Structure 1
Amino acid sequence: MATNRSRRLRKKLCVDEFQELGFELNLEFKPDADLDAYVEAFLTEAIDGNGLDYVGAEDLGVVCLGKRGSVSPEQRAQVEAWLKARTDLAKVEVGPMIDVWYPENPINPSAA
């Protein structure tokens, strides 16, 4: 179905040039990991410290920008570096950039 939406509606729906990008995280903890301390440090240092937001559980979730817009490649790299420096994680998988509102949609070159 072809859609011819106004700029206002495209912005409201976060589509086309207003697409918002983020990335997925998949983590595995070591058996002796202190989850409470990890979550507190993760949210304070890696997420809030980079102006980001996190939706999900301790081990699986999506990182997006804390306001309208997309996560930058630099912010993604900073979160990945922070996670890989942790000694309480056995496995760290940082996914590619995705549309956080419509994950099944391909990335629009004008949004990247």
Structure 2
Amino acid sequence: MATNRSRRLRKKLCVDEFQELGCELTMNFREGLSQAEADQFVDQFLLEAIDGNGLGYVGGEDYGFVCLSKRGSVSEEQRSQLEAWLKGRNEVVEFNLSPLLDVWYPENPIGKA
């Protein structure tokens, strides 16, 4: 594919200065967590950690992708706030929050737009 693209096409493809960043999240819940506790955790996670930081989440209870709720990129500050929220929860024994990566093309390096 051509690399000399118009601004309009770069925006449509979400590349170069229009690159959007997010991160992958995997979680392991503590042993013996009831379904009601897990449901309550997910509700709080979505309300406080995701919506509360202007983020969006695509995935299930134990694995998903965090992105911005509108067009744009997750900031390092938002990622850190999410990480801090997860560290403060006793329902989760282990989690992995990846470094920021390209939402649309994860194999591409993060550009300096």
Contact 1:32 1:88 in 2 (8 A): no
Query: 1:5 offset after TM fit, Å?
Result: 1.0
Q: Report matched runs for 1:1-112 at 5 Å.
A: 1-33=1-33, 34-110=37-113
Instruction: Give CA-to-partner distance per residue, 1:1-55, whole Å, 9 cap, x none.
Output: 5422110010011011100001111110012222100110000000000000001
Normalised to the residue count of structure 1, the TM-score between the two structures is 0.94
User: Which structure 2 residue ranges, 5 or more long, are not aligned?
Assistant: none
Alpha-carbon distance between aligned partners in 2 of 1:88 and 1:107, rounded to the nearest angstrom: 32
What CA distance in whole angstroms lies between the structure 2 residues aligned with 1:9 and 1:32? 50
Structure 1: which 4+ aligned runs deviate by more than 3 Å? none
- After superposition, the CA RMSD in angstroms is 1.0
TM-score normalized with structure 2 length: 0.93
| Conserved? CA contact 1:21–1:100, under 8 Å | yes
| 3-state SS of 1:55 partner | strand
SS in 1 for 2:85: helix
Aligned length: 110
3-state secondary structure, aligned to 1:70 = coil
